[in-house]
Structure 1
Amino acid sequence: MIEDARQTLDRIAEPASVVEDSKRELHRLWQPAHAAAEAEVYLDAPFSEHPVHCKSLLYTSPAGGPQLFVGQDPSALARKLGVQSQLIASHDAMVYPSQIHENLYLTSMGPPGNLLAFANWLKQVSPAAYALWHAQMQSSAHYQSGVAYHFFASGRQFLGYFVALPKTARRVHSAKEIRAFLGTNVYQDPLPIKRLSAQRMDEDYLVRRNLEAEVPDLRGLQVLLVGAGAIGGFIAQNLLQLGAGGSRAPKRVVVETAKILKQAGKKSATRSLALLAENKGMLHICDRDLLSGGNVGRHVLGTQDVGKPKADALCAHLKRLRPGVSVRPIATGFHTLEGELERYDVIIDATGYETFGRHVSKTVRAAGWLRPPHFLLHVWLEGRGGVVRGLAQDDASCACYDCMWSYTAGTEPRPRHPAYSDAKWNAHGDDGYATMTPFSVSAPMAAAALATDALMSWRAGNAAPRFRSRSSEGKGIHPSVAKDLSRAKSCPGCSG
């Protein structure tokens, strides 16, 4: 205990340590003591190398406090957060570049309470941000538009302030009038400010906050998910959270296009350059079945969707989770899409049916679709869910779906990696459906997790291991497998 106290005192005595602690705790320290009475601020500003002029809307929730939506389209931001009425236009805002990736910190003077203290503080901790702010304060357009909110990047978050400008501010035009205004309201009798912290709601932050910097997300990709059942429902949610159906920020499109050109060569140049002009992603969900009551116990959808087409209901569910996302149901069979496979970057077979898996694998190979940068993923449960599996194909040279069996003339094909040694794991249920196999909701969730890991490995630049088999603990279950399968001899799917 004494040693802990000594280390704390030593850290306090070290100026560099105090600064680092201040950087980590800045958002907590920045908030005023009466922060609970202030508006909750949500910010959605586009990527830019320059300060961005935004609008704001104020909403007062009957059940909570005020909420402030800041962005170039604050009404769209409000809809994203489930607010569509009783919005009141508030003051304009200026958002300073998010690519200033330095962490601001407090000095010994503490958090600023007026414009002069803020100017002195910002100039000391971030001369670059101060220069941008000072340039705005010298602009007549700044006053005529009534900018009252200012937000600054600090690491990956934003903090700022509100200042109530006097009515005379809108009459400021000339350089002389600007100097007079600043002299009075910043230096002689500085205007008080209300410090604010903003929650980022831009797509780049929502999607990428939990990803490693070098791993691309799914925005801008054309994704086809076949199967909206138990497995497909959970996969769809994961795809949404990884950016499927969303657009990419321009800078990220340029960086990823350059990477593709370098890795794939001239063959992919046309496709890759097209990303620069069209970076809007899409998630298509293909399934022609209706949701039944028997599905609800292990599906993301609920009783309110029973009797509806699974694809329609699942897309509506995703849009409720993330308004504005580009998802489209296809309530027909996969055969209706076989002539337009080239539009897709990723195809995921989540039906869990062996015969369909064989068909999809053969179809994409015959169409010449299976080549970089395309990616095909099959994911399924074995029997009663004790084993979940996935097979990835990203090139015609890798093992196909049929390669999971061994073929010997005169005998039935045999699985190369059986899931179980105990037949009970493949026994059907007894609720009146001959093909119904019981498994709990944890099994499709595990399958969706496996699919997500396989997909993101491919996005990171390495699809291996292309065959993944994860086992739960239980008697009669073979252990997990993670490897690249060799192509099977005499394979009917790829002539291995």
Structure 2
Amino acid sequence: MMSLADRWRAIAATLANKGFTEQQGASPEFRGSINVHGRAVDIELVIPDSKFVELPIVRLVDRKQLPAGAFGHISRDDIEGSVVCFAPATGLPLDFHDPGGSVLRVLRQTELSLEKSFAGQGGAEVAAEYQEYWIEKEPNFRVLVSRDGTTERQSGLQYAVFKPATGSPFFAIADTISLHDHEATRLSGAVIFHLDAELGPTADRVVPNNFLSLEQWFRAQTTVVADRWRECERALLSGKFVCLAANNCTLGVRIELPANIAMAVRTKKLRSSKLQPLLAKQKTKLDIKRSGGYWTGLAEIAQRNLHGIKTLDGKAIALVGCGTLGSHLAKFLIQSGAGAGAPLTLIDGQVLSAGNIGRHYLGHSRIGERKASALAEELRSFHPQCDIRATVGDALAQKAVLADSDLLVDATGDWNTQYALNELFYEDDISAEAILHCWISGNGAAVQAFLNVRGDDCCFRCLRPSMDAGPRFPALKPGVEANMAPATCGDGNYIPYSVAAPAIAAGLACDMAIGWANDKPGARLRTIVLDHERGIERKPTSPSAHKTCPSCLSRDES
């Protein structure tokens, strides 16, 4: 293996061979030139790490060596010159066993990045990363409302700074400043313009710097954007924070009032009816503040990961069992859109014991609390928009809660409860579209999940019609049993297994719930084997009803 000294010698020798000279600096720094479409462009190459865990920095020495106009892959910084973004979004693999070859790859990648702009793709390249050009020292803001654009301008939007009980304050646009466990200070009203277009640089400016240049920049965009200027102008001059939600970026802009006008507004010496026409006459004197926005609404977080398919947004889900499996599954459901637009109801009557926390989602601080209510509180801290409700008690006694759900999820792993919920699913006043059972077999040897969609022939009891026989689709090899750990003082018997088993079972169940939400439920019974010595590999299947199933026979008779 090359030593640290050998790596630096190889880097220095390679760059010297390319005509680079080493400069003085905290990190090794080299100055030389690269060739961009036949034109020499001087750069500084800073290499902070010879193993390339931290990528080299490429800085232009003289921006004027490049053509005028929009140029992609260049970010402004507070050091003289400009930094070239040479690494693609997927990263740039560099081999520290070949340090010389790696720095040559960095130089070539830099040339390729700049050549795209020389080839007339500068505007497109800047547009692709336009938000980075737009952002200045204003703090980024979060958008906690829907991105679907069905309402062009939602009423009652607020721009505020939110301070959570734990964590750092943040700026956000929300339809309410009453978020769970957050203090809020309203700064202004807000408006979101959903623009079915891309925003980017214009012929004479990359970004606007005052109100007049903002108008010129805005009017130079596509027609679909330019036609909205009057609305945007009215919103800005009335003191609102404006969010421009385009296909390629989310931009925030507000005006900075001149000191004398700001004072007059604060002391109420200037009426709001007079403010807008006064400001309209001072466009060249009005500074603007630019910031970048990020969509962090609960529904948007789920949609980002489930791109192109439906999330669990708007589905009322009742999760029975908040133990090891259920606690992880609740988190996965929330991250998949549950609790947005419809409640996720957690049902469990047990208390979290000290022995639970080794594999439960909840930790030490929650020992002694009711699992359902403690888990609901914990998940609300994940996102302030979560509609999570807790019901402490026997699930079978919570028929009213279950009756209003679109999906019932059984994570109890207890046969008697599983069977009873199966029976309850078929009662007339339960309108749920489906019931999903998930469980762990053996000492985490395998996990299984079964989805019963309303109208299916096979019910949960069909999987084991006779208690004198084993299940029809066992996940354990013959003779393999679950080993119980003996009870100790203050703790009961339990089945030991690693936290991997409930996490995988939760992932399996969550995936099946998403399939159901997209009307593509697929195979109804699925198995994942973790221990191949004890578990049985099974292909996903949709079992047929069993002719001796007592549950089905009872329903047929009635």
Q: TM-score range by the shorter chain?
A: 0.7 to 0.9
Name 2:303's counterpart in structure 1.
208
- Alignment correspondent of 1:268: none
Partner of 1:28: 132
Other-structure match for 1:294? 355
Is 1:19 the counterpart of 2:123? The answer is: yes
Distance of aligned partners of 1:427 and 1:151 in 2 relative to their CA distance in 1, 3 Å threshold: same
Task: Return the match for 2:322 from 222, 228, 231.
Answer: 228
* SS of residue paired to 1:451: helix
Aligned residue in 2 for 1:278? none
Question: What letter is aligned with 1:374?
Answer: E
Number of equivalenced pairs: 435
> Larger RCO: Structure 1 or Structure 2 (Cα < 8 Å, ≥ 6 residues apart)?
1
Equivalent pair of 1:160/1:196 in contact (CA under 8 Å): yes
**Which whole-Å deviations, capped at 9, do the CAs of 1:218-269 have from their partners, x for residues lacking one?**
233322111110011011112222232332xxxxxxxxxxxxxxxxxxxxxx
Q: How does 1:155-170 map to 2 (within 5 A)?
A: 155=247, 157-166=249-258, 167=261
Structure 1 counterpart of 2:369, from 308, 312, 317: 308
Distance 1:133 1:95, change over 3 A: farther
- Report the CA distance between 1:130 and its aligned residue: 3.1
Task: Tell me which residue corresponds to 2:8.
Answer: none
In 2 relative to 1, CA 301–474 (structure 1 residues): closer, same or farther, beyond 3 Å? Answer: same
Is this contact kept in 1: 2:326–2:412, CA < 8 A? yes
Name the structure 1 match of 2:343. Answer: 282
Q: Which residue of 2 aligns with 1:154?
A: 246
Question: 2:504 aligned with 1:428, yes or no?
Answer: no
1:409-451: CA deviation from partner (whole Å, max 9, x where unpaired)? xx93232222122645522224547752110111111111001
- Map of 2:523 onto structure 1: 465
Separation in 2 of the partners of 1:419 and 1:214? 31
Match of 1:104 among 189, 195, 199: 199
Residue equivalent to 1:402: 461
40 and 8 in structure 1: CA distance in 2 versus 1, 3 angstrom threshold: closer
The equivalent residue for 2:540 is 482
RMSD: 3.3
Query: Cα 1:487–1:150, aligned 2, differ >3 Å: closer, same or farther?
Result: same
Query: When you count helix as a share of all residues, which structure comes out higher?
Result: 1
For 1:259, the equivalent position in structure 2 comes to: none
1:56 and 2:166 aligned = no
Structure 2, unpaired ranges of 5+: 1-104
Shift of 1:211: 1.8
TM-score, L = length of structure 2: 0.70
Among 98, 113, 119, the alignment partner of 2:209 is 113
**1-structure distance, mates of 2:222, 2:190:** 17
What's the CA shift for 1:83? 4.0
Match of 2:407 in 1: 346
SS at match of 2:287: coil
Contact kept? 1:45, 1:52, Cα under 8 Å? no
Residue identity in the other structure for 2:160: L
Q: Which amino acid aligns with 2:159?
A: S
Aligned counterpart in structure 2 of residue 358 of structure 1, from 409, 419, 423: 419
Distance 2:326 2:167 in 1: 36
Q: How much does 1:181 deviate?
A: 4.7
SS of residue paired to 1:481: coil
Checking the alignment, whether the CA contact within 8 Å between 1:297 and 1:441 is kept in structure 2 is yes
Is structure 2 residue 436 aligned with structure 1 residue 377? yes
In structure 2, C-alpha distance between the alignment counterparts of 1:282 and 1:7, rounded to whole Å: 50
Q: Structure 1-normalised TM-score?
A: 0.78
Task: Return the offset for 1:406.
Answer: 6.3
Counterparts of 1:396 and 1:89, CA distance in 2: 50
Shift of 1:96: 3.0
Contact preservation (8 Å) 1:469, 1:481: yes
Q: Which amino acid aligns with 1:162?
A: R
**Which residue of structure 2 lines up, in the alignment, with residue 390 of structure 1?**
449
Task: Name the CA distance, whole Å, in 2 between partners of 1:110 and 1:345.
Answer: 49
Is 2:550 the counterpart of 1:492?
yes
Given the superposition, is the C-alpha separation of residues 354 and 156 from structure 1 closer, same or farther in structure 2, using an over 3 Å criterion? farther
Q: Distance in 1 between the 2:387 and 2:171 partners?
A: 26
Pick closer, same or farther for the CA change 1:331–1:72 going to 2, 3 Å: closer
Give the residue type in structure 2 aligned to 1:207: A
> CA contact under 8 A between 1:386 and 1:425: conserved in structure 2?
no
Does residue 245 of structure 1 match 2:363?
no
Please give the alpha-carbon distance, in whole angstroms, between the structure 1 residues aligned to 2:494 and 2:294: 46
Amino acid at match of 2:206: G
* Contact 2:157/2:173 (8 A) holds in 1: yes
Q: Aligned to 2:357, what secondary structure does the other structure show?
A: helix
TM-superposed deviation, 1:162: 2.8
| Whole-angstrom distance in 2 between the partners of 1:41 and 1:457 | 33
Determine if contact 1:57/1:89 at 8 Å carries over to the other structure: yes
1:58 is displaced (CA, Å) by: 4.2
Aligned to 2:41: none
- Conserved? CA contact 1:39–1:65, under 8 Å: no
Residues 1:6 and 1:464: Cα distance change in structure 2 (over 3 Å)? same
1:404–1:30 Cα change, 3 Å:
same
Q: Offset at 1:486?
A: 1.4
Tell me the alpha carbon deviations over residues 111-162 of structure 1, each in whole angstroms, 9 at most, x when there is no partner.
Answer: 221222222222222333333232343x4x864x433x32211227521223
**Alpha-carbon distance, 1:314 to partner:** 1.4
**Separation (CA, whole Å) in 2 of partners of 1:20 and 1:328:** 47
- What is the rounded CA distance, in whole Å, between the counterparts of 1:358 and 1:293 in structure 2? 29
Contact 2:439–2:448 under 8 Å retained in 1: yes
Report the counterpart of residue 74 of structure 2 in structure 1. none
Deviation of 1:174 after TM superposition, in Å, equals 8.2
Tell me whether 1:418 sits opposite 2:513 in the alignment: no
1:44 corresponds to 2:144: yes
Contact 2:448 2:475 in 1 (8 A): no
Q: Summarize deviations over 1:307-339 as a string: whole Å, max 9, x none.
A: 222112112212222335332222221221246
The equivalent residue for 2:36 is none
Larger CA Rg, structure 1 vs 2: 2
In 1: Cα distance, 2:273 partner to 2:492 partner? 80
Give the match's secondary structure for 2:308.
coil
